[in-house]
Amino acid sequence: MRSSSARSRSPSPSHSPGLGSPLLALRPFHQKPLHLWNKYDVGDWLESINLGEHRAGFQEHEIEGSHLPALTKEDFAELGVTRVGHRMNIERALKLLLES
């Protein structure tokens, strides 16, 4: 049986999410401008904002980073983003990207 101190330890910093995390280091979209993202970078970005369920739709329609700022409400619907909250979250995250 493990001691109580072993159970109460926090995870090591290398396993916690954050900018220094190994998981983000494997995502090259963080290292290049939006207009250079390919469809896989867009999918990784969707995963990073917890909307990975839309990855396949964006990739099937060949959505690249340069396309993201021009997407309309109708485009989102065609891509399978039918929940208003999901569309708003994507638009908010995109706005943050464009402002940084």
Q: Specify the pTM.
A: 0.73
pLDDT of residue 8: 41
pLDDT of residue 63: 98
User: Which pair of structure tokens corresponds to residue 68?
Assistant: 């993201």
Integer angstrom CA distances of residue 52 from 34, 45, 47, 84, 86: 18, 8, 4, 16, 11
What phi and psi values does residue 39 have, to the nearest 5 degrees? Answer: -65, -30
Give average pLDDT by consecutive 10-residue segment, the chain, 100 residues: 44 38 62 94 96 98 98 97 98 94
- Gap between the Cα atoms of 30 and 20, Å rounded: 12
